Structure 1
Amino acid sequence: MPSVFSVADIKYILDPTLKSWILQGHTNLGTPFQVIDVRDSDYVGGHIINSLHIESNKFKNEESAETLSNLLKKLRENGQNTVVFHCMLSQQRGPSSAMRFLRYLNERTSASNDQDEISFIENMKVCVLRGGFGKWQQEYGEDPQLTENYAKDVWKYGY
């Protein structure tokens, strides 16, 4: 089976788009979504509300197959066919984790005999938050509807 996804399938979304999704509880298409925060030691000072924290190294170490499998399982259980990856700036770890996830989805569609799984994967949308958490916290850090555990003093000198 040919690959379903390529790097061209990673879409960037802007803060106001994600903000509206969070406030309405779904994407603009009415579908559930999941934010994946892949920051590592810089996972301090707050995070996007209801985001799932998976350190970027878990996407590229010996545990990556298990991490990717568990992530897909969780997304399927929750019907979340849109995922938004981000790191601090969404320049390296966020996009590379999104790409690793897309490669895994391609592997699953080739290996799976489960039509429900294949259908779910074929309808996935993988996004990266432009500007990452650094930009997000500047705009929405102090809004408890959008950001959890925000520590303003962590950000007083920028990121």
Structure 2
Amino acid sequence: MSINIATLPRITRDTLSGLLLSTSTPNNLAIIDVRDHDHIGGHIVSSTWVPSATLDYRMPELVRTLQDKEKVVFHCALSQQRGPSAALQYSRERERILGSGESHKQEVFVLEGGFVQWQEKYGKDVQLTEAYVEGIWQEY
């Protein structure tokens, strides 16, 4: 199956917040934040910051460290460029390294609306967002 930017599954902020708040999911879920200098002002709880500029050399390591996760969610500020590109690159690298067998099933998503939409609803929720600085987001 050939995957491309258009066919990448999206996950809504409400679905993701539900997964984060459910006690059974966090160990099965990885959130990868690929924002670069725009990472300031907050991030989703438990997310891992992997600046998009570092993806080329960090991708094999990501595939290895995330291989046992059931769901991996990528996002950037708006999830229009960097987030989807990273998710696609990850999916392809994962298939190259691990193959596409049943034992390696994993769902890869892009967070719809990225961190900009996330923070609009969940920025002040300390269960869901860390290091939030509201003033930074006033301009968005």
**Is this a same-fold pair by TM over 0.5?**
yes
| Structure with max Cα Rg | 1
Question: Which of 94, 112, 119 is matched with 1:130 structurally?
Answer: 112
What root-mean-square deviation, in Å, do the aligned CA atoms of Structure 1 and Structure 2 show? 2.1
Residue 114 of structure 1 corresponds to none
Residue 93 of structure 1 corresponds to 82
- Cα 1:147–1:120 change in 2 (3 A) is farther
- Quick one: distance in 1 between partners of 2:80 and 2:28? 25
Structure 1 unaligned segments of length 5 or more: list them: 111-116
8 Å Cα contact 1:25-1:32 kept in structure 2: no
8 Å Cα contact 2:44-2:129 kept in structure 1: yes
Q: Does 1:146 align with 2:137?
A: no
**How many correspondences in the alignment?**
139
Q: Does 1:6 align with 2:7?
A: no
Question: Which of 48, 71, 79 is matched with 1:82 structurally?
Answer: 71
Q: Does 1:54 align with 2:50?
A: yes
- Quick one: distance in 1 between partners of 2:122 and 2:96? 37
Q: TM-score, normalised by structure 1?
A: 0.79
Runs of 4 or more above 3 Å deviation: 117-120
Amino acid across the alignment from 1:51: S
Percent of residue pairs identical: 37
Q: Does 1:41 align with 2:23?
A: no
Question: Which of 55, 60, 69 is matched with 1:69 structurally?
Answer: 60
- Cα 1:86–1:26 change in 2 (3 A) is farther
Deviation at 1:26, TM superposition (A): 4.7
Amino acid across the alignment from 2:65: K
Amino acid across the alignment from 2:41: G
